[in-house]
Amino acid sequence: MTPELGQLALILALLLALAQGVLPLIGAWRGNRALMAVARPAAAGQAVFVAMAFGILVWAFLHFDFSVQYVAANSNLELPWYYRIAAVWGAHEGSLLLWILILNVWTVALAAFSQKLPEVFASRVLAVMGLVAVGFLLFTLLTSDPFGRLLPMPGDGADLNPVLQDPGMTFHPPVLYMGYVGFSVAFAFSIAGLLGGEMEQAWVRWARPWTNMAWGFLTCGIVAGSWWAYAELGWGGWWFWDPVENASFMPWLVGLALIHAQAITEKRGSLRAWTILLSIFAFSLSLLGTFLVRSGVLTSVHAFASDPRRGVFILAFLTIVVGGSLLLYALRAPKVVGGKPFQVLSRETAMLIGNLMFAVAAAMVLLGTLFPLLADALNLGKISVGPPYFGLLFPLLMLPVVLLMPFGPFLRWNKGDPAVLKQVLLRAGIAAVACAIVAAFFVNGQLKAIAGVATLVWLGAGVLLYMIKRWREAPAGRRYPAEMAGMLLAHLGMGVFVAGVLLSNSLSVTRDVRMAPGQTQHIGGYDFRFDGAQRTTGPNWRADQGLITVTRDGESVAVMKPQKRTYPRGQVQTESAVDAGFTRDLYVALGEPMDANNIEGAWSMRLYYKPFIRWIWGGGLLMMLGGFTAAADKRFRIKRSAVDAPTEKLILQENNA
Amino acid sequence: MSRLLPFFGFMLLAGLFGFGIWWNTQHDPREVPSPLINKPAPAFNLPRLDDPTQTVSKASLLGKPYLLNVFASWCIACAEEHPTLMAEGSQLGILLLGYDYKDAPDDAKNWLREHGNPYGEVITDRSGRTAIDFGVYGAPESFLIDAKGVIRYKHIGPLTPEVIAKKLQPAIAALKKETP
């Protein structure tokens, strides 16, 4: 009976979402306060019912209710409880429900923190969120019901895909969705702004912390996903340019552009149309990502079951949401050129170049991701562009960004001072070159590795120089406001990330070996000794577990236990052993026994020495932290007085062009 | 006018997606044409399941066409396919050769005892090494090999009565015409 209650809760949530999406819009249009007041209670009610539905699904998993088809397909009696919870979002229907739940978390937060916004504006924003929820609730109820029954009820279920049975998987999707869905807030702000024709810079300021938060979550989600792929897939790679990874990377790039564009719009009033367009794009790409993953239009290692009906529904939804908002943009985007003018040498220009690069990079990734589809359309056969395409173009596009980044903070709005820039160029440049020369001796002249060190020092020096400048020039207590601290953290994170990528890429050692017990391999200064393999068992798997002792100059460094697990439904899954370190990772993946009947004999295995790979995720985490820190700036807290006071009117010029 | 550009750009994209969905309903996205079609099957020499001391090789099977069906006791889709093979396998008119893939022999024997054995003969590839030569993605897969040892047709995934009637039977009929 309970699963049917879940379905009922979703239907009620849909009705409330409809109320939340339609009535406040009418109210805002007619100036009817009663209708506008519907927004908040409807949002709260919707959230309660969605949470109830989600809770019921979790409960069904925890209590092995295999009469629910989704539960039977994704869990079994042997699956430990924590993976049974993770199994809720282990497949299509449940992850959609999670999507909706998180959309509701954002909506409720928005409803709570928008109390001081002008009522008309706030109700429009909440209404847009409601309309997005309507689309997703309809999608769930019509094509992807998680509460469908299975008769007769099986005694035991199938299994959660063993690839997903990893701690990283339990929190990768929720965090990633926090990011994806978070862009709906910036989107809602933009649509509300377009609908109401508000030209004030104020709404961009209100939107900024939300964008930063969403971007921070997205960064964290991507980092977690990358880490999971590294630890779980056993290939030692951390990024594969897989369509699903690209789907999360495109909104990330556009979100990054949006963060910077919003800063310009808020502080200088310029680029307003571009900011609106970017916030539409960021959310559209999140939706597009959902479409690409769910519709089966592209095949990927993240194989979710595809169903043409779902594809058609999402395409229709996508067309309405994105097409509609772009049409609205065409009709209502600021027709007036506003804001203060700026010269060529200014912070605006630098940020614009960055913006352009991120937008082009996102377009490049989109093109690469859709290329197989294009090739099909043009009858070119089954072609996909992989790492060669992305690996060449992406660094090229990011090069100007990295080169310009240290100057950004030093450039003033409107007009930069060439003398200051020269000083930065000189100091950071000398530091970078000096460190690169020193590094060259350590890395045997590997160009990529040298470039990695130079980039880190170049960006790090930029951050450091700016911190020193602020320390000297600004009064104590006002030296590093949160917004600026966040920016510095994120920029430093970029340096750490690039250094990690280039160093690990060029200095890694991989070796496929056949090892008999007692044999030793020497890699990257470490001795890997194979001490044989044996059988072991876990809560729901059996495994052959290798024992590898790593020593360096005779001193013990690590004991590693890579496994080859067999799950109850016969799926085989490699569990690599990773010895993590600040400057290097050691990584062992178990292959096959040379003689299948004698696991105590020799094994094929793959050994990796990966220097500085952890810096890739460290850089990502710094960027995330930067996003969150900037969002916490006091400047973004809405004061009632600031809103009620006559908003600072901009000098608007009619655009006659 | 320039403000409409993003809208038109998106509509173009939406058109492409619409095409993609239509295309996928017409074609099986997994169906990568096997490079082995009309090429000689890779040489193999594998032990029989019922008597591992005896082996079956490509050479020993020359002269008659046969259908090589990759299966395993751990494979759920194979269990789905099995009733079809039980019902129609004997009516194919050619040898149905079971290819037990990455499987423990005892598990496979139990599985066949439980579900029935539609195969004329069963060979085992415990390490899965020969399967690599065949380009096997996973079980089940089926290869139609003619009297000269050339692969003529390949099916990925479970054989269904529909696939057998529409694709496999015509392919077998074509073989029979060639070699009377």
Give ipTM to 2 decimals: 0.74
Q: What is the CA radius of gyration of chain A?
A: 27
Host domain of residue B154 = 31-178
Residue A620 confidence (pLDDT) above 90: yes
Task: Please tell me whether residues A361 and A446 are part of one structural domain.
Answer: no
Which strand (E) or helix (H) includes residue A503?
helix A482-507
Of A401, A389, A270, nearest to A334 (Cα)? A270
Task: Please tell me whether residues A86 and A216 are part of one structural domain.
Answer: no
CB contacts under 8 A, A 571-600 vs B, are: 571, 592, 596
Task: Please tell me whether residues B49 and B14 are part of one structural domain.
Answer: no
The whole-model pTM stands at 0.80
A295 touching chain B per CB within 8 A: yes
Cβ–Cβ below 8 Å for B72 and A377: no
CB contacts under 8 A, A 157-176 vs B, are: 158
Task: Please tell me whether residues A118 and A57 are part of one structural domain.
Answer: yes
A476 touching chain B per CB within 8 A: no
Domain count, chain A: 4
Chain A residues closer than 8 Å to B7 by CB: 323, 326-327, 329-330
Establish if A644 belongs to a structural domain: no
Task: Please tell me whether residues B38 and B114 are part of one structural domain.
Answer: yes
CB contacts under 8 A, A 88-147 vs B, are: none
Task: Please tell me whether residues A463 and A541 are part of one structural domain.
Answer: no
Task: Please tell me whether residues B22 and B101 are part of one structural domain.
Answer: no
Task: Please tell me whether residues A235 and A299 are part of one structural domain.
Answer: yes
pLDDT at A384: 62
Task: Please tell me whether residues A248 and A346 are part of one structural domain.
Answer: yes
A277 touching chain B per CB within 8 A: yes
Domain count, chain B: 2
Task: Please tell me whether residues B12 and B86 are part of one structural domain.
Answer: no
Task: Please tell me whether residues B46 and B133 are part of one structural domain.
Answer: yes
Tell me how many residue pairs between chain A and chain B have CB atoms under 8 A apart. Answer: 77
Six token digits for residue B113: 């005892």
pLDDT at A642: 43
pLDDT at B159: 86
Task: Please tell me whether residues A376 and A467 are part of one structural domain.
Answer: no
Task: Please tell me whether residues A253 and A355 are part of one structural domain.
Answer: yes
Return contacts of A367-375, CB within 8 angstroms, 24+ apart.
A368/A241, A368/A246, A368/A393, A369/A243, A369/A246, A369/A247, A369/A250, A369/A292, A369/A298, A370/A298, A370/B13, A370/B16, A372/A298, A373/A297, A373/A298, A373/B16, A373/B17, A373/B19, A373/B20, A374/B16
Say how far apart CA A506 and CA A41 lie, in whole Å. 56
A381 touching chain B per CB within 8 A: no
B93: distance to nearest CA of chain A, Å?
A: 33
Residues 6+ away with beta carbon under 8 Å from A79? A87, A159, A160, A165, A539, A540
- Among residues A612, A635, A651, the one where a domain terminates is A612
Task: Please tell me whether residues A263 and A363 are part of one structural domain.
Answer: yes
Task: Please tell me whether residues B18 and B93 are part of one structural domain.
Answer: no
Confidence band, pLDDT 50/70/90 cuts, at residue A300: very low
Task: Please tell me whether residues B21 and B83 are part of one structural domain.
Answer: no
DSSP A570-584: S-EEEE-EEE--SSE
pLDDT in tens, A371-430: 877 776 666 655 666 777 888 889 999 999 999 999 988 888 888 888 888 989 999 999
Task: Please tell me whether residues A214 and A279 are part of one structural domain.
Answer: yes
Task: Please tell me whether residues B72 and B11 are part of one structural domain.
Answer: no
Task: Please tell me whether residues B22 and B79 are part of one structural domain.
Answer: no
The residue among A156, A300, A321, A327 with the most chain B CBs within 10 A of its CB, best to mutate, is A327
Confidence band, pLDDT 50/70/90 cuts, at residue A514: confident
Angle at B44 between CA B43 and CA B50, to 5 degrees: 155
Of A315, A570, A592, the CB nearest to B14: A315
Cβ–Cβ below 8 Å for A592 and B127: yes
Residues 6+ away with beta carbon under 8 Å from A577? A546, A548, A560, A561, A562, A563, A587, A588, A589
Chain B residues closer than 8 Å to A326 by CB: 6-7, 10
Task: Please tell me whether residues A260 and A273 are part of one structural domain.
Answer: yes
Peptide bond into B140 cis (omega under 30): yes
Task: Please tell me whether residues B110 and B61 are part of one structural domain.
Answer: yes
Decide: A576 and A234 in contact? Cβ < 8 Å: yes
B19 touching chain A per CB within 8 A: yes
For residue B129, the chain A residue with the least C-alpha distance is A592
Host domain of residue A473 = 417-488+615-620
Task: Please tell me whether residues B13 and B60 are part of one structural domain.
Answer: no
Q: Is A638 helix (H, G, I), strand (E, B) or coil?
A: coil
Establish if A229 belongs to a structural domain: yes
B2: distance to nearest CA of chain A, Å?
A: 8
pLDDT in tens, A20-70: 999 999 999 998 999 999 999 999 999 999 999 999 999 999 999 989 989
- Among residues A149, A165, A181, the one where a domain terminates is A165
The residue among B8, B19, B21 with the most chain A CBs within 10 A of its CB, best to mutate, is B21
Residue A479's φ and ψ, nearest 5 degrees, are: -70, -45
Peptide bond into A152 cis (omega under 30): yes
Cβ–Cβ below 8 Å for A277 and B29: no
pLDDT at A153: 80
Establish if A352 belongs to a structural domain: yes
Say how far apart CA A608 and CA A512 lie, in whole Å. 9
Of B24, B30, B74, the CB nearest to A297: B24
Cβ–Cβ below 8 Å for B126 and A277: no
Alpha carbons within 13 A on the beta-carbon side of A471? 6
Cβ–Cβ below 8 Å for B16 and A333: no
For A597-639, where are the alpha helices, taking DSSP H only? 614-631
Task: Please tell me whether residues B5 and B24 are part of one structural domain.
Answer: yes
Task: Please tell me whether residues A143 and A170 are part of one structural domain.
Answer: no
Of A597, A583, A592, nearest to A562 (Cα)? A592
Weakest-pLDDT range from A196-205, A356-365, A638-647, B138-147: A638-647
Residue with tokens 């920016």: A487
Of A273, A315, A570, the CB nearest to B21: A315
B97 touching chain A per CB within 8 A: no
